[in-house]
Amino acid sequence: MRITRRLAASFVAIGLATSMAACSGSADATDTSSAGGDESSAAGGDLRIGYMIWNTSVPFYSGLISKAEETADELGVELDIRNGGGELANEVAVVQQFVAEDFDMILISPSDPTGIVPAVKEANAAGIPVMAVNTMADTSSGAEIVTYVGVDDVEFGRLQGELLVDAIGETGTYAYIQGKLGTSAQLQRQQGLEEYLADYPGITRLSEISANWDNAQALAAIQDTLNRFAPGEIDAIVGQGPESVSGALNAKESGRTDVAFVLGDYPSDVRSAIQDGAVYGTVDQMPDPQGEQAVRYAYAWLTGDQASVPQPQAFIDMPLVTADNVEDVPAAWGE
């Protein structure tokens, strides 16, 4: 564990026992309890946590960022969030800058789990702990990650497969709208979907295309897909993320109600589309708990309560939402 001069000063000021009590966290990744009120704010002292997000313009991250900032304020730590701009070179540069500025901990949500490894190793060499949030980093070549906070994306894909089978039965066809190619979420969700559908050989994938987690690209891809495959030739479209909702709504407006849409994530527009019958169902990946737990675990790690940090991952729950329960499940963000 890396104990900085700032942290040592905090311990002297308030006492190690108080600090330990203040940061006692739960090993349950869905726990959202307070980590200690005013005492934890004092214990936070001058702790500085840097957070690199591969592309903060992706709508999903708005809720994650807000909750992370709120939690940092509660704990009295400085949280510096910087945008990678969707380019790996920029992501690496951000992490390197955090290292140069001697942050106490670095959180990362990388676009490329392998490409970010050199920057992680630089942080490791500098004695700065690194935590992955929402998207993973490859640790097979020696990069050290405290833990991963987020969803099990392989299971996410399996759950989408379950929804697809529920929607079209054990025989049928579908098109696949992927997220940004190479991200851990894209790779692992596809892995999980394919693993689940291996038990359903009667279901055939007609096409796949990346929409880069972008609404406009997803809409264009879905329109092109529905132009290529007439009614009776395609039964469903599976979108790895929520951006395919625009295509689902357009399909309904165009009279293509023959196609079932299975999506990922649960913002307010996806909830409305399920209520309206344009979307069959989705996997609810909640951003707020990821932002909150990442900061809480970072705080616990830095203040000596490492035992409370689940390792090697801290997975959050992913409920399925369909017409059967949509009225009982509020949107994960956007409302």
Q: Does 158 share its domain with 279?
A: yes
Q: Does 182 share its domain with 78?
A: no
Q: How confident is the prediction for the chain on average, in pLDDT? A: 89
Is residue 331 in some structural domain? no
Q: Does 43 share its domain with 89?
A: yes
Encode pLDDT of 68-90 as tens digits: 999 999 999 999 999 999 999 99
Q: Which two tokens stand for residue 265?
A: 């994530």
Q: Does 207 share its domain with 294?
A: no
Q: Does 135 share its domain with 181?
A: no
Q: Amino acid identity of 127? A: G
Is residue 269 in some structural domain? yes
- Mean pLDDT within 92-99: 98
What pLDDT sits at residue 45? Answer: 64
Conformational region of residue 79, where left means phi above 0, alpha means psi within -120 to 50, and beta covers everything else: beta
Q: Residues of the chain with pLDDT > 70: what percent?
A: 86
What pLDDT sits at residue 334? Answer: 85
CATH number at residue 263: 3.40.50.2300
Encode pLDDT of 193-227 as tens digits: 999 999 999 999 999 999 999 999 999 999 999 99
Confidence band, pLDDT 50/70/90 cuts, at residue 5: very low
Q: Does 260 share its domain with 173?
A: yes
pLDDT at 27 over 80: no
Is residue 327 in some structural domain? no
State pTM to two decimals: 0.80
Q: Does 269 share its domain with 296?
A: no
Confidence band, pLDDT 50/70/90 cuts, at residue 17: very low
pLDDT at 245 over 80: yes
Q: In angstroms, rounded to a whole number, what is the distance separating the alpha carbons of residues 252 and 286?
A: 26
Q: Does 138 share its domain with 254?
A: no
pLDDT at 22 over 60: no
pLDDT at 137 over 90: yes
Q: Does 146 share its domain with 222?
A: no
Q: What's the domain count of the chain?
A: 2
Nearest alpha-carbon partner for 34 in 42, 22, 50, 17: 22
Q: Does 280 share its domain with 292?
A: no
Beta-sheet pairing, 320-322 with 281-283: antiparallel
Angle among Cα 157, 317, 88 to the nearest 5 degrees reads: 60
Is residue 170 in some structural domain? yes
The parent domain of residue 234 ranges over: 153-284
Range name among 22-31, 36-45, 108-117, 141-150 with the lowest pLDDT average = 22-31
Q: In angstroms, rounded to a whole number, what is the distance separating the alpha carbons of residues 132 and 134?
A: 7
Beta-sheet pairing, 236-239 with 313-315: unpaired
Q: Does 63 share its domain with 44?
A: yes
Is residue 262 in some structural domain? yes
Is residue 56 in some structural domain? yes
Scanning the structure block, which residue is given the tokens 């709504």?
Answer: 249
Pick the residue with more confidence: 241 or 3? 241
- Mean pLDDT within 38-43: 43
What pLDDT sits at residue 43? Answer: 53
Angle formed by the axes of helices 245-253 and 215-228, nearest 10°: 40
Q: Does 110 share its domain with 92?
A: yes
Q: Which two tokens stand for residue 156?
A: 């996410």
